[in-house]
Structure 1
């Protein structure tokens, strides 16, 4: 799985090398995607540090945000008064916690801004962005993993391989910085200790605070709609709404066989109440409508659900609309249109 960060930018903090191995060629803001491990597990703690050379309305020069799973809980920026809670459960931490987080974030601010200035001295470009992401995951089997990545001007720049452990430079531009990072053995040990132990401890602590929301299970409501094109194929759309946690599997089956190559998915998107929705469509011969089923798997379901078009009020010819948000609802219960089937150190890392 590859997730795209919510910010387009990264930087360097206390303890990072001051001389950067930048090279001309990477510029702009829009292509940066910091990749996470293949299995993000049921719970994920992430921090994003961002700096830009040209701040503007709604875009502070320096920003730090923290996410537990997909929920924002921590925010700091250079225009505000200090670190601020963004989720009710994190307020279990008292004033000393927030004072310390403000001090930590301000400690990173000048190094980040300094590296923006260094880049501007090297290249005649008006906008530069830096981003730094780190965190850890707690997988379903109880195992853990960590990640530590830097990005520059819309591209991955440097990442830490916890298995080796070594720094990985995806391009020759990052080789100088990679050498400086690996030469600091003390820093490397602090990073490894944070990722393997301290980050996981904080993740588990935060899960305890937010267990009522973060560890809840909300069943999806399933809706199937259909649209007939004049002298053309029929489009069936399956939409799952109001589920939590985020991971869900929607698939179309024809006579019990997957039609993966013919399925188009719209992604998993958040609702305003903290739940999610997702949809999947398939095109088919109108004469084969009755052969298709939408198969839904989610952690909240003891068994998968199968939604059948045309039952429980399904309307031939109805318009799916954007995100397949129109049509007849299917009752997600057996026999009613849906059938059940067998901081490298805690004082410096912002946490």
Structure 2
């Protein structure tokens, strides 16, 4: 080992530990932004990943060398069927964290919902909830989206929580109460040209070694016994392998967040011609509402992705992108 240097840069970010399989196919949104203004609105939405296309736009980023010129953007299509608001939940916060104060569900819920949750509530549940709103510190909307709405053969819907903007808890409750049992579209929550944060579960790749999993260097061909292994696991004493050492293990199928993905297209018709001949690979034809965001997003086609209003680098104004052409492979 005399030919090797005594130190090397560490490989692989510790920020992504533990690199274990995600517990669920549904990503969790742990933090929600606070929108400016007193208007109450939902802060997130959900859809299903479709595939990739290219969108030709005019670069509207000022103070860049490409400003005003044509820009070919790699983009991702997300099918966004309407989301049904099925309930409202209030939380109170103490030194031990958040605790649910009450749940109230809408009447005449879809039959498929019974495959996911069993709902039993009293007839006067809403009136009781109105008396407990003063105890709450935040209000969340309980939403459901059905994969069958975009042609995915899964009857069981996804149920998740969406935060509500505004600091007045009573106003948040009244807003969710007003949309209870209704269906909302992506255009009711997001606007064309704004940025969104995308949450998803990445493509699983199974068990991989340290070269693929962490990017450590291969040893030279004359190395002893192994080439695609770490040079050393640590000192002889103490006889402990630190958790920072690159080892083999699960690669992929992790929850990841992509920040500030700009919405290039948002429509409910195929006037832009985003469907390739024969449909998207592993998905098919997009016939309903969809969003096209700039760049890539985590996951495989048909997998649920969640979106929220951006939490970083909020822009002062939202500009609609100047789309020239949609290039479908």
Smaller-chain TM-score range?
under 0.3
Higher RCO structure (Cα 8 Å, ≥6 apart): 2
More helix by share: 1
Q: Give the alignment's TM-score, normalised by structure 1.
A: 0.22
Q: Give the alignment's TM-score, normalised by structure 2.
A: 0.23
